[in-house]
Amino acid sequence: MLKKVTANSKPRSSFNNGKFMPKSSVKKGNPKIEEDFFPKIVAFCCNWCTYGAADLAGTSKFTMPPSISVVKVMCSSRVDPVQVLESFLRGADGVLIAGCHPGDCHYDNGNYYTRRRFALLNEVVQSLGLENDRLQLSWISASEAKKYQQTVTDFTEKIKKLGRNPLWVKSEI
Amino acid sequence: MENNILVIGAGITGIEASILLANAGKHVYLVEKSPIIGGNIIKFEHVFPNFECATCLVSPRQQEVLQNSNIELLLLSEVKKVTGKPGAFSVKIKKQARYVDMENCIGCGACYDVCPVKIPNEYEENLMQRFAIYVPYSGSLPNVPAIDTENCIRFAGEECNACQESCMFEAINYDEKDEELDLKVDAIIVSTGFQQHKPVAKYGWGTIDDVYNAFEFERIFASNGPTTGEIKKKDGSEPKSIAIIHCVGRDENKYCSAVCCINSLKFIHYLKEKIEDIKITNFYRDLCLPGKKYDKFAGDMKSLGTDFIRSDDIEISSGDKSILVNYMNGDAKKQLPADMVILSSSIEPQKDNNDLAKVLGIELDSFGFFQESDPDFGTETSTRDGIYIAGCAQAPKDIQNCVTQAQSAVEKALFQFNLK
Amino acid sequence: MKERIGIFLCECGPNIAEKIDLDKVKEALEHLPNVVIVARHKLFCSLQGKEFLKESIKENNLTRFVIAACSPKQHELTFMIVAEDAGMNPHLFQMANIREQCAWIIEDKDEATKKAILYIKAAYKRVIYHESLDKKEIVANPDVLVIGGGIAGIEASLALAGPDRKVYLIEKTESLGGKIKEFDEVFISFKNGQSIIDERLERIEKEDNIETRLQAEVIDVKGFLGNFIVIVKTGDSEEKIQVGAIIVAIGFELINLSQLKGYGSLDCDDIYTGLEFEKMKKEGKITTKSGSVPKSVGIIHCIGRNEVGYCSGVCCLSSIKFSKYIQDKLPGTNIFEFYRDLTLPDKAYQKFYENIENKGVNFIQADDIKIANEKGLKIKYNKNKSTQPVDMIILSPAYVPAKDSNSLAEMLRIPRDDSGFFTEEHPKLAPVNTSAEGIFIIGCAQGPKSIKDSISQAHAAAGKILASIIPGKKLEPEVRISYINEAFCIGCQKCLNTCNYGAIYFDNLKFISIVNEVLCHGCGNCIASCNSSAIQLKHFKDIQMHQEIIEILR
């Protein structure tokens, strides 16, 4: 699953350019909770269910922390494990993968693949020295705007407690 | 030949038929009496047997209807007169004013925040409130409100233009007039759907608290419904026991609606998902589970934990602490207390079927559904050439069969063009 | 050519303008490389907005643009059309959703503004890597192959055949008509089965565009929607038939009684299956083996229901019909119907049942039924507590899939469910489609059902074909689909199994996988399964998403 990490054109070379290392965080090797820490979370949302829920949450004006940045994919199964790892290596404090409920997939069975890949990814994430809690898989259907809001809020809180992604510190050494 | 086809009713059946016809290159007039499309299916949080989210299923299709240039959507509209013959029907449509411009409105919702009128929302089974300028559900499509002139105080003569003032897009026009449209069409597909049976007095519906019919319960469970998905009694507490009564309305209607058993079993999943230790009792007559998937579905639902009591004589009364289900079991009279009761009401013909049948010149059957030309070989053809019937307008059926009939009615309409 | 990129900020009336500081946004974007215009408008989806956008694209000779507005689910198509009108490929723009994902959900204006800038920059980075995607047109053969000459197959063939569309009707037995011709009367119209078929055979005879092959079977299928190549074997000769769509209507069989245990002795004299009883009725003589007229008849529903694990949905009705047969032919006979749950799922059925019951048929609800042959036939029920002696027993056995459904499923590469019936693409919205586009399943091949529902499905499949494969019109498949970079593919074939639509096939000569452009639905699942990054999804390419991801993490 990991073998594609360098498959994209540039990732490794731009790996140490320091862009994702905010100057304020300098406590090397010991990323304690910071007062003004605001997590960066990448959320991969499937077009048919979760992106729809996000839209409905917007239309319903449910407020949420601005921590989450949504990347739309047609199906959660498009999310390549490499893209998740890349997000972490780029400094994401958390990654959320969200799609249709099992059995609900617009493409019939895509989210079963997502589920399996997630299980494997969890192990990889751990081996990188990241907490498992930084990676989350959620099933949110298009009508579940409230659940979307709740998920975003809870996940942000969780990441806040975990603190900054420790990977960048390690990569600097 | 005008290359036009009229589809009446924009539920899942009408939507399916319209999309297919549009893809076949026909110009479709899709007439719908409510301000939105989607019909009854969008009331469901999940559909059996796979617990798919109904909104997720339907919204891509709704978008397709809204975006397809071959489909002309006529909302808040009704068919008033039909003359002519297949290939050359003349149709008169009455289109009520929406008072909100579909092009200019972007669905921001600023207008209903300022509306002073609050009334029960019939689309939410009156469990929620809406304004006089409203969209039926959050997330309904098209996401453009309409003004309900019967309840708007401005239309009752008072001075109010709150919504117009709030609108930054100049989308609200109080002077909009109802329109009459004359259409020329080759064929007509009737897909006006059904209404839910109103339980008779002995079931205590509307008189005893916490007695709900199936759609009401569906909305209570719905994440975009009145309780945002929490199952609560009227006093706010969590029910500990619940009775699900099947076949409500079967005696009055004298037919089986074919879907209520499976839908009732679905509720077991709903309930156990939210309240793990709730005690569920199903009162049924015959479990009607026709089809390759439903025995397994029923087995899965039963394994979640529920009692089954076979009884065809049931009365609901209110007790001191809870609701009482009085039932006959064999020859014995028995009683079961429950905190909440769900009545699985049957599918009934729309009350205005009679008027529409007269307008269209087609017949109704003894129940009030549209009469098919042959019970085995012509379930999608009406008693008049060039007019086709599909979905629950013809007989009670599940979504699968509604879609099948829509596709079949399309074939029959296209066949008429000899477009093979 | 130097890129010229435009960024358009929609105010969405007050919706965006009040929640996001668009001047600040504009400032942050103006100096990005190759950005030649950053413009705002009150409402881009309005007529004036669209016109403004179109003119801006033309005036500034834009090569790409970003529009920051509402959800792409709402207006992506709107702006694709504008782009096309402006003479641009509609895929060379990207929407940043700053309304649903910023303005409407973030309370703090500064935060919302920051976020909007982030999203727009990500869209800007992404759009640089967007590619022109051109519409493809594929010639489709309008002809149809119908496998199975029962009532469903016949109805579909008659609905489809015409001057511009040929239908090949393949039947494995020596005559058309299937099971229905064995029914003396069909419910609920009570027409004679044979005459229903005869009437249709006459029409087939007259229709030049239906070619019937009797005693024939399909032995190979290649190709896809619009272009199937089928090898049909009739007797000893094989022929190649080219069609655009295939309908599978191979019907059902009754469960083999010898497989059933727990019903007691099923192999005694005077026990008949429904089909055997139909034959007796047709011949006009309802007698026991000894030739005497039965004084009492037991009809047992749900035979084999537990074993197959589903309700066939029609046996209750046909069982009640048998009571009608007996009442018609032998009035005064005592009839006992043993049922579990009366399944009468249609508006007309209950009345039919009530009529029969009112004429004196005994309906007995029982879950455990055993047949004993002790000095005559006896039906025992209620845990052997009750016994009903009868002269004749009619069984209503469950419907099971036709024997050759397995081999056919493999050949057509379409799935079957646990019971062995073909699986529809979607149980609600696509009941006659399969996951293989262009292949349809109708009638009891899809699941046990009544004649009326089989007929509806036959016409439904015909409707789907009439609306999608139109003679003289080309197919326009989705363009945002997967493709495989031949140089990277190592031929592991992992993607083949991942694809739910059978859209990837393997080229044995080149030893690489290839994506079929007509069948791919563009979900992107195969990409994540590819070990060598050989597969890419157009418009969701790794590099495009990579740019988006790194930008939002800045």
Domain ranges of chain B: 4-95+178-193+350-416, 110-166, 198-346
**What CATH number has the domain spanning A37-172?**
3.40.50
Least confident of A39-43, B5-9, B47-51, B316-320: B47-51
Separation between Cα atoms, residue C427 and residue B97, nearest integer Å: 38
Residue type present at position C347: K
Q: How far is C42 from chain B (nearest CA, A)?
A: 9
DSSP type of residue B372: P
Average pLDDT for C68-85 = 93
Q: Is C20 on the interface with A (CB under 8 A)?
A: no
State whether B51 and A61 contact (CB < 8 Å): no
Q: Which of A49, A59, A101 shows the shortest C-beta gap to B138? A: A59
Chain C CB contacts of A51 under 8 Å are: 71, 73
Domains in chain C (CATH in brackets) are 5-133 (3.40.50), 144-251+402-468 (3.50.50.60), 257-399 (3.50.50.60), 482-538 (3.30.70.20)
Question: Which residue of A3, A41, A107 is the best one to mutate when testing the C interface, meaning the one whose CB has the most C CBs within 10 A?
Answer: A107
Instruction: Assess contact for C157 and C148: CB atoms under 8 A.
Output: no
Q: Which of B270-286 are b and which e, b meaning 16 or more Cβ less than 10 Å from the residue's Cβ?
A: bbbebbeebbbbbbbbb
| Total residue count of chain A as it appears in this document | 173
State whether B56 and A141 contact (CB < 8 Å): yes
Q: How far is C532 from chain A (nearest CA, A)?
A: 7
What is the distance between the terminal CA atoms of chain A, rounded to a whole angstrom? 26
List, for residues B336-351, the tens digit of each pLDDT value. 999 999 999 999 999 9
Instruction: Assess contact for B35 and B146: CB atoms under 8 A.
Output: yes
Cα C126 off chain centre by: 36
Residue type present at position B389: I
Neighbours of B67 (CB within 10 A): 11
At residue C120, the pLDDT reads 97
User: Where are chain A's structural domains?
Assistant: 37-172
Separation between Cα atoms, residue C417 and residue B292, nearest integer Å: 9
Show the tokens assigned to C186: 């069909």
At residue A33, the pLDDT reads 52
HEC readout, C431-454: CCECCCCCEEECHHHCCCCCHHHH
What is the distance between the terminal CA atoms of chain C, rounded to a whole angstrom? 29
Average pLDDT for B249-270 = 94
Separation between Cα atoms, residue B309 and residue B317, nearest integer Å: 18
HEC readout, C169-230: EECCCCCCCHHHHHCCCECCCCECHHHHHHHHHHHHHHCCCEEEECCEEEEEEEEECCEEEE
State whether C500 and A110 contact (CB < 8 Å): yes
Q: Which of B108, B292, B418 shows the shortest C-beta gap to C310? A: B292
Q: State phi, psi for C409 to the nearest 5 degrees.
A: -60, -40
Question: Which residue of C358, C423, C454, C456 is the best one to mutate when testing the B interface, meaning the one whose CB has the most B CBs within 10 A?
Answer: C456
Separation between Cα atoms, residue A63 and residue C95, nearest integer Å: 22
State whether B45 and A143 contact (CB < 8 Å): yes
Q: Is A59 on the interface with C (CB under 8 A)?
A: yes
List, for residues C321-353, the tens digit of each pLDDT value. 999 999 999 999 999 999 999 999 999 999 999
Chain A CB contacts of B56 under 8 Å are: 48-49, 52, 100, 104, 106, 141-143
Residue C170's closest CA among C117, C266, C239, C112? C239
Minimum CA–CA partner of A56 in chain B: B139
Question: To the nearest whole number, what is the mean pLDDT of chain C?
Answer: 93
Q: How far is A13 from chain C (nearest CA, A)?
A: 13
Pick one of 3.40.50.150, 2.60.320.10, 3.50.50.60, 3.90.1150.10 as the CATH number of B4-95+178-193+350-416. Answer: 3.50.50.60
Say what the alpha-carbon torsion angle A112, A115, A116, A121 is, to the nearest 10 degrees. Answer: 150
Largest interatomic CA distance in chain C: 101
Residue with tokens 């975990």: A162
State whether C542 and A83 contact (CB < 8 Å): yes
State whether C43 and B418 contact (CB < 8 Å): no
Minimum CA–CA partner of B20 in chain C: C467
At residue B412, the pLDDT reads 94
Chain B CB contacts of C10 under 8 Å are: none
C 209-248 residues with CB below 8 A of B?
A: none
State whether A143 and B139 contact (CB < 8 Å): yes
Q: Which of C348, C461, C466 shows the shortest C-beta gap to B24? A: C466
Separation between Cα atoms, residue C210 and residue B203, nearest integer Å: 57
Strands B194-196 and B347-349: antiparallel
Q: Is C417 on the interface with A (CB under 8 A)?
A: no
Separation between Cα atoms, residue C411 and residue C421, nearest integer Å: 15
Q: Is C13 on the interface with B (CB under 8 A)?
A: yes
State whether A74 and C118 contact (CB < 8 Å): no
Q: Is C429 on the interface with A (CB under 8 A)?
A: no
Show the tokens assigned to C194: 């044979």
Q: Is A22 on the interface with C (CB under 8 A)?
A: no
Average pLDDT for B145-153 = 95
Q: How far is B388 from chain C (nearest CA, A)?
A: 13
Q: Kindly state the percentage of chain C with pLDDT values over 70.
A: 100
Chain A CB contacts of B51 under 8 Å are: 101, 103-104
C 389-418 residues with CB below 8 A of B?
A: 417-418
Residue A58, phi-psi category: left (phi > 0), alpha (psi -120 to 50), beta (remainder): alpha
Average pLDDT for B109-128 = 92
Question: Which residue of C101, C532, C544 is the best one to mutate when testing the A interface, meaning the one whose CB has the most A CBs within 10 A?
Answer: C101
At residue C374, the pLDDT reads 84
Minimum CA–CA partner of B143 in chain A: A59
Show the tokens assigned to C476: 């326009």
Chain C CB contacts of B110 under 8 Å are: 14
Q: Is C73 on the interface with B (CB under 8 A)?
A: yes
Q: Is A78 on the interface with B (CB under 8 A)?
A: no
Average pLDDT for C139-150 = 96
At residue C46, the pLDDT reads 86
State whether A142 and B229 contact (CB < 8 Å): no
Residue numbers of chain A with a pLDDT score lower than 70: 1-35, 168-173
List, for residues A14-42, the tens digit of each pLDDT value. 333 333 444 344 344 444 555 678 899 99
Q: Which of A61, A103, A145 shows the shortest C-beta gap to B224? A: A145
Q: How far is B415 from chain C (nearest CA, A)?
A: 7
Residue type present at position A48: W
Q: Is C500 on the interface with A (CB under 8 A)?
A: yes
Please, what sign has the CA dihedral across residues C369, C370, C375, C376? Answer: positive
Contacts of B184 (CB under 8 A, 6+ apart): B2, B4, B88, B89, B90, B91
Chain C CB contacts of B374 under 8 Å are: 189
Task: Please compute, for residue B416, the number of CA atoms within 13 A of its CA located in the half-sphere on the CB side.
Answer: 26
At residue C14, the pLDDT reads 85
Separation between Cα atoms, residue C493 and residue C504, nearest integer Å: 9
Chain B CB contacts of A61 under 8 Å are: 109
State whether C528 and A81 contact (CB < 8 Å): yes
Chain C CB contacts of A3 under 8 Å are: 531
ipTM of the complex, rounded to two decimals: 0.94
Residue A19's closest CA among A78, A91, A123, A101? A91
Separation between Cα atoms, residue C397 and residue C277, nearest integer Å: 12
The subunits that touch chain A, with at least 3 C-beta pairs less than 8 Å apart, are B, C
Asked if CATH classification 3.50.50.60 holds for the domain at B198-346, the reply, yes or no, is: yes
C 435-494 residues with CB below 8 A of B?
A: 447-449, 451-453, 455-464, 466-468, 470, 473
Q: State phi, psi for B57 to the nearest 5 degrees.
A: -65, -45
Question: Which residue of A48, A56, A59, A62 is the best one to mutate when testing the C interface, meaning the one whose CB has the most C CBs within 10 A?
Answer: A59
The subunits that touch chain C, with at least 3 C-beta pairs less than 8 Å apart, are A, B
Q: How far is C293 from chain B (nearest CA, A)?
A: 32
> How confident is residue C35, by pLDDT bands cut at 50, 70 and 90?
very high
Neighbours of C175 (CB within 10 A): 13
Chain A CB contacts of C533 under 8 Å are: 4, 7-8
Task: Please compute, for residue C452, the number of CA atoms within 13 A of its CA located in the half-sphere on the CB side.
Answer: 28
Average pLDDT for B12-38 = 96
Average pLDDT for B132-136 = 94
Read off the pTM.
Answer: 0.89
Residue type present at position B299: G
> How confident is residue C115, by pLDDT bands cut at 50, 70 and 90?
very high
Q: Which of A61, A100, A145 shows the shortest C-beta gap to B56? A: A100
Separation between Cα atoms, residue A21 and residue C489, nearest integer Å: 36
List, for residues B283-293, the tens digit of each pLDDT value. 999 999 998 99
